[in-house]
Chains A and B, each alone.
Chain A
Amino acid sequence: MQSESRVTGFFTDSTLCIGCKACEVACKEWNGVPDDGFRWSGVSYDNTLSLGHSTWRHVKFVERQPEIGRGGNAPQGITWEFSSDVCKHCENAGCLESCPTGSIIRTEFGSVYVQPDICNGCGYCVVSCPFGVIDRRPDDGRAFKCTMCYDRQKVGETPACAKACPTQSILFGDLDELERAADRRIAQLHSAGMTDATIWNPKESSVGGTHAFFLVRGDPRAYNLPANPEMPTKYLKPAWTSAAAAAAVLVVGSLLAFAVGGRR
Chain B
Amino acid sequence: MSEPTYHDLPLLKPPVWTWEIPLYFFIGGAAGAAAVIGFAARVNGAKPSLVRDARWMAAIGATASAPLLISDLGRPERFLNMLRVFKPQSAMSVGVWTLAGFGACATGAVIAPRPLRDVAAAGSALLGLVMSTYTGVLLGVTAIPAWNAHAATLPAHFAASALASATSLLQLRDHDEPALHALATLAAAFEMWTGFQLERRQKPSNVMRTAGVLSGPLPLALRLLGVKSKRARRVAAAITIAGSLVTRFAWVEAGKTSAAQAMRS
- Direct touching of A and B (C-beta under 8 Å): yes
User: When the two chains form their complex, are residues B90 and A246 in contact, meaning their CB atoms are under 8 A apart?
Assistant: no
Q: Which of B12, B72, B85, B147 has the most CB of A within 10 A?
A: B12
Query: Least Cβ distance of A251 to chain B in Å?
Result: 6
In the complex, the chain A residue whose C-beta lies closest to that of B3 is A221
What residues on A are CB-neighbors of B155 within 8 Å?
A: 239-240, 242-243, 246
B133 lies within 8 A of A243 (CB): yes
Q: Are A257 and B16 in contact, CB atoms less than 8 angstroms apart? A: no
Indicate if the CB atoms of B156 and A246 lie closer than 8 Å.
yes
Pick the contact of B4 from A44, A129, A218 — CB < 8 Å? A218
Closest beta carbon of chain A to B24's beta carbon, Å: 12
Chain B 100-149 interface residues, beta-carbon cutoff 8 Å to A: 125, 129-130, 132-134, 136-138, 140-144, 147-148
Distance of B128 from chain A, by nearest CB (Å): 9
Please judge, given known A-B contacts A100-B92, A254-B39, whether A123 and B6 are in contact too, CB under 8 Å. no
Whole-angstrom distance between the alpha carbons of A224 and B92 in the complex? Answer: 28
Q: Mark A128-140, 1 if CB is under 8 A from B, else 0.
A: 1111111111001
A237 to B72, CA, bound (A): 28
Q: Tell whether, in the assembled complex, residue A98 and residue B43 are in contact, meaning their CB atoms are under 8 Å apart.
A: no
Instruction: Determine, out of B44-52, B55-63, B214-222, the stretch whose residues face the partner at the interface.
Output: B44-52
Answer whether residue B225 sits at the interface, using C-beta atoms and an 8 A cutoff: no
Bin the interface of chain B by size.
Answer: 35 or more
The smallest beta-carbon distance between A114 and chain B, in angstroms, is: 12
Cα of A123 to Cα of B15 in the assembled complex, Å: 7
Which of B75-83, B199-207, B231-239, B240-248 forms contacts with chain A?
Answer: B75-83
Give the complex CA separation of A127 and B147 in angstroms: 10
Additional pairs, 9, CB under 8 Å, beyond known A221-B6, A221-B265, A239-B152: A97-B87, A120-B82, A124-B92, A232-B148, A239-B151, A240-B155, A242-B137, A246-B155, A255-B44
Give which listed residue, B14, B75, B84, contacts A102 with CB less than 8 A: B84
Whether B198 is near chain A, meaning CB under 8 Å from some CB there, is no
Tell me how far the C-beta of B201 lies from the nearest C-beta in chain A, rounded to whole angstroms. 15
B7 touches A127 (CB 8 A): no
List of B residues within 8 angstroms of A94 by Cβ: 142-143
CB distance A254 to B142 under 8 Å?
Answer: no
Please give the distance in Å from A136's CB to the nearest CB on chain B: 5
B143 near A127: Cβ-Cβ < 8 Å: yes
- Known contacts: A62-B6, A100-B90. The answer to whether A235 contacts B151 by CB under 8 A is yes
B73-A246 in contact (CB<8A): no
**A120/B85 contact (C-beta < 8 A), A246-B156, A261-B182, A264-B176 known:** no
Determine if A43 and B142 form an interchain contact, defined as CB atoms under 8 angstroms apart.
Answer: no
**8 Å CB contacts to A: which residues of B180-207?**
180-183, 186
Check B148–A235 contact: CB distance below 8 A. yes
Query: In chain A, what residue has the closest Cβ to B175?
Result: A264
Contact check, A222 vs B154: say whether CB atoms are below 8 A apart.
no
In angstroms, how far is the closest chain A Cβ from the Cβ of B32? 9
Contact sample, A vs B, 23 pairs, CB 8 Å cutoff: A44-B7, A94-B142, A98-B89, A98-B91, A98-B142, A100-B96, A101-B81, A122-B73, A123-B72, A129-B13, A142-B74, A221-B3, A232-B141, A235-B140, A235-B141, A235-B142, A242-B153, A243-B155, A246-B132, A250-B129, A258-B44, A261-B181, A264-B177
Assess whether A76 is interfacial by the CB under 8 Å rule.
no
Which residues of B sit under 8 angstroms from A244, Cβ to Cβ? 133
Q: Chain B residues in contact with chain A, CB under 8 A?
A: 3-7, 9-17, 33, 36-37, 39-41, 43-47, 72-76, 78-79, 81-82, 84-85, 87, 89-93, 95-96, 125, 129-130, 132-134, 136-138, 140-144, 147-148, 151-156, 158-160, 163, 176-183, 186, 255, 259, 263, 265
Task: Give B85's nearest chain A residue, CB to CB.
Answer: A102
What 0/1 pattern do residues 75 to 87 of A give for CB contact below 8 A with B? 0000000000000
Q: Is A230 an interface residue (CB 8 A)?
A: yes
Q: A164 an interface residue at 8 Å Cβ cutoff? A: no
In the complex, what's the smallest C-beta–C-beta distance from A164 to chain B, in angstroms? 23
In angstroms, Cα B44 to Cα A264, docked, is 13
The answer, yes or no, to whether A219 is at the interface (CB within 8 Å) is yes
Q: Is B179 a contact of A119 with CB atoms below 8 Å?
A: no
Q: Flag if B13 contacts A224 (CB, 8 Å).
A: no
CB distance from B164 to the nearest CB of A (A): 11
Residues on the A chain within 8 Å of B85, using CB: 100-102
The closest CB in chain A to the CB of B70 belongs to A120
Q: Bound state CA distance, A221 and B2, in angstroms? A: 10
On whether A128 and B36 interact (CB within 8 A), knowing A227-B265, A232-B148, A246-B156, the answer reads: no
